[in-house]
A and B are shown apart, each in its own frame.
Chain A
Amino acid sequence: MTQIKPWLKLATGALLATSVAFTASGCTTTDAVSSGDGEKSMTYWSMWTETEPQAEVLKTSLDAFQKDTGIKVNVQWQGRKVLDKVTAGLLSNDVPDLVDQAYDGLGPTLAKTNQLEDLAPVLKESVPGEDGKTVGDVIPAKYFDVLPTYGGDVKTYMVPYTISNVSVFYNKANKVAPDAPKTWDELLDNCKKALAADIACIASDGDATWANSYWFDYLMNRNAGDGSFAKLVEDKTGASFDDPAVLKTAKQIEELIKSGYIIKGYDASKYPEQQNAWASNKALYYLMGSWAPAETGKYAAEGFEYGAFNFPTTTATSSTANDSIAFGFAVPKKAKNTDAAKQFIAYFANKDRMGQISSVANNLSARPDVEAPATLKDVATILAENPTRLPNDGVSGDITDKGFNASFEKLFLGKLTAEQYVKEAKSAMVAYWNAKG
């Protein structure tokens, strides 16, 4: 019997341990975060991770807000997938009072199903510390006008605090083609110069179709006008693909590939490999979101001077609209402390506070009167001088992921000619809508 004893001990130990663990963990309930009676509070679920500079900025303001108003703020740094958590919360009636993400996250996930408060009244609130100026005065109306509703009833479902955009980035200190091209032909000329100087013209990572399709999206916009991309992919009959502008766009992309303007190996690389190659001066241009400088900072060549220009025009009458991607706050309808959340939105709109997005996090703030960080000076100018549009005209991600991307990928990787592409893309989009029922 003595042999058995250690095992008995272990078994009892295990039982004890598990029961302790159960009771200990059993205490974690959803009620744990509820505040004491009478005390005002709000919860904020953030798209940032606690250690990111953007989180630092928000933390500073949240602390100040708590001090100034006495409203206790409960923050959870959820990270980029914050909206997954909100939808899960809706299922179990556990939602934050304030949440943030990009319009293309908030819109399809929450605004589409009317889960977000209308924030139009917040625009009329005055910004604390800026005598009399309202939120609507300091954040340009165009960022609100451009928001797609995705079939929901509310238009102003978010208030942006940081803006990204998509433009062509380049090293201003480069010797090959220091001047930014304004038209497509100028861009192609510069590409020739790049090849002559033995560097690539355009950097791209073949697997980042979401980024490569910006080329098609912008060219289509320049060739056929605002809203043409949405019209193209939302046409259930596919007839829009017969528009000669589509073939023209495809041919322009085909030319980039055939002429070898895109960096060698792009069709076999994994993001951000070629992005880094661009930052080390191996390619002239890089069409990307304005997060590119922050992402490549560590890899940039000595003396690299970040510059950007708006996507070139293809005809004299081309649109010059620039893609903007707004990230901002939203307030779920089911939240308990919506007033406190709205109060914070106005509070954060203050120039000094929102300004830290630029000075600390090196992003562009939603306020044009805040000085842009050095690497994004050009981007700020582009945004200020041009009308705003959305990448892919704001169509839902599902349309591009499952309908548009596959055939575009083949075009961009040189597997299809322009003509073949138009045919294949047309049938792919028809099949997509067919499956949607």
Chain B
Amino acid sequence: MATPVLPLARGRNTARPRAGMSAIERSRRRLFWPMLAPALILMILFYLVPIIFAGWLSLNEWDGINELKWVGLDNYIRLSKDPVFIGSIINTLKILFIVGIVTFVFAFGLTMILRDMMGKKFVRSVLFFPTLINAMVFGIFAGFLFSPSGPVNKLLLLVGVQDPPKWLAQDNLFNMIMIVMIWSATGYFTTIIMSAVDQIPAYYYEAAGLDGAGPWTKFRHVTLPLAWDVISVCAVLWTMSSVKVFELILVFGGSTAKPPPTSTWSTALYVFQAAFGSGGDREFGISAASAIVSLVLVTVLTIGLRRMLRRDAVEI
């Protein structure tokens, strides 16, 4: 769950050349390769080679046992016709945009509320905590809490709701998954945005206050523009982690030892099911092809989002 964080995309160059550095510089040069090599080799072995391998595998048909069969782009054509795969892409996009936007709105709301609140550190910690837990646990919890005769419905009955929503019904399942995601991600993004907002000097707000700005105007004209860089980095972060969502869906919709319903699959689930699913068929080619598609998806989305958000920042 430790989501990697990208730094801001503006920079001063830290390695300033200085007088008298040549000795250090020389010894650094000598140490460059020996110190870098182990990490670099692992990087090549676990990232570069597998990606190239996946690309090649995606052009073949293979069950992991018999000989490989070259099929060219057939796997991609099959994917484009597979409604389950299309559905998994749509679900991934839903996670990215719907969950992403709602989470950001919540995170900003919480930041505004927490700004002047007592015990904000405590609150922030409690809300942050779900980020660190294996999402599988929440999948199991949700099945308990929202079952027809479960605690949530019992509480609703107490306040007079006779006919509670069908939380775990098949066509609600994905919405429930998204709600759980929003709940567990909000704390993390609140923390990031809060620390960005904390850096905004108070006199900006005071000046805006003197001009008669209300809370919304302050938010719109002070907070948002000054925290914009952080928001754009958060968006990239969210893009990367939304494509990876796996454990929650695996356990949320799934009965024992059976795959979750296809209507809830994300691309990660699709890749896993095609290669290692309980159906028995091992389609490594299809799996690799869908993995490549998700890699392209995350790349395009990341670049696109950064472009889009950067332009907005310029306007302000």
Contact = CB atoms under 8 A, between A and B. Distances in A.
Asked if A and B bind, the verdict is yes
Interface of A: 80-81, 83-84, 87, 90-91, 104-105, 107-109, 112-113, 115, 205-210, 264-265, 267-273, 277, 396-398, 401-402, 405-406, 409-410, 413, 415, 428, 431-432, 434-437
A350 B102 CA distance: 63
Interface string B260-286: 011100000000010011111110000
B270 to A, nearest CB: 10
Given A270-B147, A396-B281, A402-B262, A409 B78 contact: no
Nearest to A91: B64
A109 B280 contact: yes
A192 B269 CA distance: 42
Contacts of A432: 82-83
Nearest to A263: B148
A401 B83 CA distance: 12
23 contacts: A90-B64, A91-B65, A207-B173, A207-B255, A208-B258, A209-B261, A210-B258, A264-B148, A267-B166, A268-B167, A269-B148, A273-B148, A397-B278, A401-B262, A406-B262, A409-B263, A415-B171, A431-B83, A432-B82, A435-B81, A435-B82, A435-B85, A437-B74
Contacts of A273: 147-149
Given A206-B169, A397-B278, A398-B279, 18 more contacts: A87-B64, A87-B282, A91-B65, A113-B63, A113-B65, A115-B65, A209-B261, A265-B148, A265-B149, A270-B147, A272-B256, A396-B279, A398-B281, A401-B262, A401-B277, A406-B261, A406-B263, A413-B170
B309 to A, nearest CB: 36
Interface of B: 63-66, 74, 77-79, 81-85, 143, 146-149, 166-173, 253, 255-259, 261-263, 273, 276-282
Contacts of B81: 431, 434-435, 437
B168 A402 contact: no
Contacts of A206: 168-170
Contacts of B66: 113
List the 4 shortest-distance A-B pairs measured between CB atoms, nearest first. A108-B280, A265-B148, A268-B166, A397-B279
B169 A105 contact: no
B253 A207 contact: yes
Q: Is the interface of B mostly helix, strand, loop or mixed?
A: loop
A209 B81 CA distance: 24
Nearest to B252: A270
A428 B255 contact: no
A396 B63 CA distance: 15
Q: Is the interface of A mostly helix, strand, loop or mixed?
A: helix
Contact of B279 (A401, A434, A435, A437): A401
B103 to A, nearest CB: 25
A140 B159 CA distance: 59
A265 B277 CA distance: 29
Nearest to B281: A398
Among A208, A396, A434, A437, which residue has the most Cβ atoms of chain B within 10 A? A437
A107 B143 contact: no
Contacts of B263: 406, 409
A428 B83 contact: yes
Nearest to A406: B262
A183 B276 CA distance: 41
B162 to A, nearest CB: 12
Nearest to A264: B148
Contacts of B77: 437
B65 A207 contact: no
B122 to A, nearest CB: 32
Nearest to B172: A268
A210 B85 CA distance: 20
Nearest to A397: B279
Contacts of B257: 80
